[in-house]
């Protein structure tokens, strides 16, 4: 079973690696698990916004794979991270949060999961119109 050191390494590489080579061999659920464990640790200083952006990119990459549900998993996690960030500081994260929601809507629509796709898309629209952000 991977330890905390693995989680830190993976989360760090994820935040720094634009090509996502570091997580190539891992399932999206595993990646998300590592990210959550790292961000939950008291001494984690990794930039959450960078990790969220990397998870959106991971979703983009996995969308074309044979496991498209992984694209949903990664993008959903990114949305959750941006949601928390935007609840603390709306202005710097509003645009990225809305874009992540749009990506999630796209990923869900690809799998014919229409209702959650609609919800994500509408939330993105509300954000772009300047609606208040709830945590």
Partner 1 sequence: MRFSYYLNPQTPGPDDDERVIDEVFGQLELAKSMGFTDTWITDHQFTGYNVFSDPTTMAAAISQRVPGLRIGFAVAVVPLMHPVRFVTQCNLIDQLTKGNFVAGIGPGNSPDEFDGYGLDRELRHEIMQEFVQVCDLAWEPPDEGGFEFHGKHFDVEVRGRIIPAPIQRPRPHMAVATGTPERLEAAGRRGWSLLLGPQEVEFIAARLQYYRKGMDDAALSPEARARAWEHTSIVRQLYVAEEGENWLEELDDVLDTYTRKSLRANTGIDDLPKADMEKRRAEYLKRGWLHAGTADEVFERLRPFAELGISNLMCWFNFGHMQDERIRASMARFHERVMPRLREISPPEDYLSSLIEQNEGMATEASIP
Q: Which is nearer to partner 1, 25 or 112 (CB)?
A: 112
Three-state helix/strand/coil letters over 3-42? CHHHHHHHHHHHHHCCCCHHHCCCCHHHHHHHHHHHHHCC
Minimum CB–partner distance for residue 15 and partner 1 (Å):
24
The least CB distance from residue 64 to partner 1, in Å, is: 4
Count the neighbouring beta carbons within 10 Å of the beta carbon of residue 86: 23
Binding positions for partner 1, rule: CB under 8 A: 60, 63-64, 68-69, 72-73, 105-107, 109-118, 121-122
- Taking the C-alpha atoms of residue 47 and residue 84, their distance in angstroms, rounded to an integer, is 13
Cβ of residue 78: shortest distance to partner 1, in angstroms?
15
| Closer residue to partner 1 in complex, CB, 13/80 | 80
């Amino acid at each position: 079973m991977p330890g905390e050191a693995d989680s830190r390494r993976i989360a760090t590489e994820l935040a720094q690696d634009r090509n996502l080579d570091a997580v190539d061999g891992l399932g999206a659920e595993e990646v998300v698990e590592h990210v959550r464990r790292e961000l939950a640790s008291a001494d984690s200083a990794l930039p959450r916004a960078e990790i969220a952006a990397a998870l959106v990119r991971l979703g983009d990459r996995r969308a074309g794979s044979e496991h498209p549900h992984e694209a949903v998993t990664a993008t959903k996690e990114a949305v959750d991270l941006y949601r928390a960030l935007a609840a603390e500081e709306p202005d710097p994260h509003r645009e990225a949060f809305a874009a992540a929601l749009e990506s999630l809507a796209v990923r869900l629509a690809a799998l014919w999961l229409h209702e959650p796709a609609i919800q994500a898309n509408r939330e993105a629209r509300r954000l772009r119109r300047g609606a208040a952000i709830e945590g």
